[in-house]
Chains A and B, each alone.
Chain A
Amino acid sequence: MTRTAISVDHIARVEGHGNVHLSIKDGAVETCEMNVVEPARLFESMVVGRKFADVPYIASRVCGICSASHVITDILAIERIFGVEVTDRTRALRELLVYGSYLQNHASHLFVFAAPDFLDMASVFPLAKANPELFDQALGLKSLGNQLCNLVGGRSIHPITAVVGGFTHEPSRDEYLAMADKLDAEREFARAVVDLFNGFAVPDIATQGDMMAMVAEGRYPVADSRWARFLDAGVTFDADRACEQVEEYEVSHSAALFARCRQTGKTYFTGALARINASWGALSQEAKVAAAKAGLRPPERNPFLNNVAQAVEVLDALGRCADLCRKLAEPDGPFEGDSAPVPFEVRAGVGTGFTEAPRGTVFHQLELDDAGRVVHATIMTPTAQNCANLEADIRVLAEKLIADGAEAPEVRVEVEKLVRAYDPCFSCSVH
């Protein structure tokens, strides 16, 4: 009998702290643990008793990079409870803000976190010497995401301007138009990024779990649909039922709760790959062509292709955001009018906010009392939903590699790559 233990402590180039522990006995994976050791900040407890207006501001701090998504999700939960109808212009600005965080997140993930895996580098920094043009372009794309968040939200992370009912500040017409031009100019590089990631060899595995994404007929929704779908199970539900449809459960080796589909008991993947599988038909023509060229077509079940899926989303988002910016700049366009906060009345109730954060579906369920103070809160972040499926996929990957004759060091390296392909945010998952 031979037993090998493979441990990856402090997985590098991810947000937050996580380890992987595998034990292999006689060529079979005996145990596999995704060990999330991020300190618990206890957000769901700390918002209790606080006034509704503070809550999006606090929830933003669940995650630096998904901060725009957490703010919007929380605002949507509050507006659901108060029955607030915002203007189309506010909705467009929220979409733009969430997409800004997609550009930030995907550029950071693809180049700072994932690319070094395939370029045989410990970090992205050596790329500055090895390929200065690519390094500058990658930082340029990341910077553009920051500029877009800055334009709409007032700063690159933890947006200032988004509040219940609307926005406290709006960019000028000239700023929108200048941004639209910059977004368009970035598309050529985005097409090259899809090709670049398509060129990186990855193990051929298929996730055993389900996938979950926000859906809307004929659209690629990120912040304005209440419908979520488990793609394999074919279960579509309103966000208000998220806590019934998703079963969160505790495991001792993770400070993050794990999650599975309550109806099927299956773990699931959420993120760019799930969105592309769910809403392929609504991608822009340009993004669809680039994806198809990269061999990414639904149904795609290899979690490693989440990297390519993010690159496709960057291309798709650039076009979408340029279009939104131009429409927002038109005085008589589809978003004419105002984004200033609309008046509303505070009332008690329960409501769930729902968005597609860059890393997947995020739900905030809030219960408010009649003074608008939080009675109860449940936050389900993308990575908390992904952890159980990631753990299952690590097992699938390790079994395949061992069957192919791989030694422990190679298994270790590929497992790290898989964890990063999921683009986890462990700090977010614990919250």
Chain B
Amino acid sequence: MGCGNDERQARDLPRVVVVGLASCFGCQLQITNVEEHLTDVLGQIDLRYWQLASSEPMPEEFDVAVIEGAVTTEESEATVRKLRERAKCVIALGACAATAGIPGIAARNFFKRPSQVYKDVPAACGSMVVPRPVCAVIDVDYTVRCCPVDTMDFIDVLQRALYGSNKFDRTGTMCGQCKRNGTDCFFDQGQLCLGLVTVAGCGAKCVNLGRACNGCRGLSPDANLDAARAACVRAGVDPDDLDEALALFNQVERVQSARE
């Protein structure tokens, strides 16, 4: 499903709203970081609501909803359901929306946590629920991955949402990317790297700069966690470290698969 149908093209520009849930707002900032292309991007859409950048109020009608952040309250759960009802197309923006990301770390033993931060949880916190990605609450049409999203990746996904695309989502893991980049493997140095289970598409940005992959792009559908644990053992890495590292950006998926 996309937003680029004939009926749309016959009408005015697609009306877009951008909404932030529990997040650092960094992925929304990455949209503003389009910089010199900002007017080109804005020229293709009718940006109706974006609290971060504009004081225009939320409209009743729109075509595309871009949602950043994880769902962590009943209020935000209601917000995303309403957005889904009204929007023809929903784009999940960033790791928090795609996998629950960093806020998802709190998913384990969630109900013990608020009292570790507050003496009396303030009413302003709303009704807190276990952190979930947007796609666990509603159907999502497109996802921009990573923490933070890559600005050009966002433009690419927006183009696909606006005009349609026959491109399949990538499913391969990051290791193939490092092979193409010709970078050394962390496992050869006895160090853990999540590239072997993380879906490719960022160009292995962190590995190129000397840091192991943290899995912010999310698990690849091709990931074989048992084989990855075995690979850890062969490289002299404690396989428990793999599970601990996965909790950074993929905790919610881990909690779910543990229940299944």
Contacts and interface: CB of A to CB of B under 8 A. Distances in A.
A48 interface: yes
A113 B51 CA distance: 10
Contact of B205 (A39, A42, A155, A416): A155
Contacts of A41: 22, 72, 102-103, 106, 131
Interface in A165-187: 168-169
B258 interface: no
Contacts of A67: 24, 26
A15 interface: yes
Contact of A427 (B24, B35, B101, B205): B24
Contacts of B103: 41
A86 interface: no
Contact of B117 (A38, A45, A140, A156): A45
Contacts of B239: none
A46 B72 CA distance: 14
Contacts of A46: 102, 105-106, 113
Given A65-B26, A125-B54, A139-B35, A40 B105 contact: no
Contacts of B69: 39
A359 interface: no
A58 B102 contact: yes
B76 A36 contact: no
Contact of B55 (A13, A51, A58): A13
A54 B248 contact: yes
Interface string A280-314: 00000000000000000000000000000000000
Contacts of A64: 23-30, 148
Interface in A150-204: 154-158, 160-161, 163, 168-169
A50 B241 CA distance: 11
B10 interface: no
Contact of B72 (A40, A62, A250): A40
A45 B72 contact: no
Nearest to B216: A158
Secondary structure call for the B interface: mixed
Contacts of A16: 20, 25
A157 B51 contact: no
Interface string B90-118: 00000000000111011000000110111
B122 interface: yes
B22 A39 contact: yes
B53 A39 contact: no
A216 interface: no
A44 B73 CA distance: 18
A44 B116 contact: yes
Contacts of A62: 24
A108 interface: yes
B36 interface: yes
B26 A36 contact: no
Given A40-B117, A45-B117, A123-B56, A142 B102 contact: no
Interface stretch (A76-84, A205-213, A251-259, A343-351): A251-259
A128 interface: yes
B248 A13 contact: no
Contact of A112 (B27, B32, B73, B119): B32
A116 interface: yes
Contacts of A38: 22
B9 interface: no
Interface string B209-238: 111001000000000000000000000000
B120 to A, nearest CB: 6
B52 interface: yes
B126 interface: yes
B128 A128 contact: no
Contacts of A42: 106, 113-114, 116-117
A158 B116 contact: no
A61 B25 contact: no
A15 B24 CA distance: 8
24 contacts: A35-B124, A37-B124, A40-B117, A41-B22, A45-B117, A46-B102, A51-B244, A54-B248, A58-B105, A63-B24, A64-B148, A116-B54, A128-B38, A139-B36, A142-B32, A146-B33, A157-B148, A169-B209, A169-B210, A250-B122, A255-B126, A425-B25, A427-B20, A427-B25
Top 9 closest A-B pairs, CB basis? A64-B26, A168-B210, A123-B54, A12-B55, A39-B22, A45-B113, A46-B105, A45-B116, A61-B102
